[in-house]
Copies of this chain bind each other. A is one copy, B any other.
Amino acid sequence: MTTGTLVPVFAALGDETRWSILAALGEGDASASALAGRLPVSRQAIAKHLAVLQEVGLVEPIRVGREVQYRVIGSQLSDTARRLEAIGAEWDRRLATIKEIAEGL
């Protein structure tokens, strides 16, 4: 079972505030300050969340003038989904095998 760098991604996705940030970024790229205007948390809190998201490759920073805007990397979500799907399928397959054995096939 290669979980590899997968767990930190899930940890990053396991926070409501970060999903709010991702959702807000879905409306278009935005800086930490801009996001702070739309979400009920401070700019610094958002900066920390963005750091976490960037760490696991869910978001990328883009300098625009004196701002640092962030963009969601959708492919990382898709990639993570595929890896999770593979694991889920693996478990289904394994359980099916166990079931067959139990039923004496």
Contacts and interface: CB of A to CB of B under 8 A. Distances in A.
Interface string A14-39: 11100100010010100000000000
Contacts of A72: 91, 95
A1 B25 CA distance: 12
Which DSSP category, helix, strand, loop or mixed, fits chain A's interface? Answer: helix
Copies of this polypeptide in the complex: 2
A68 interface: no
A12 B13 CA distance: 10
B1 A26 contact: yes
Interface string A74-87: 11111111101101
Residue among A7, A78, A89, A98 with max Cβ neighbours from chain B (10 Å): A78
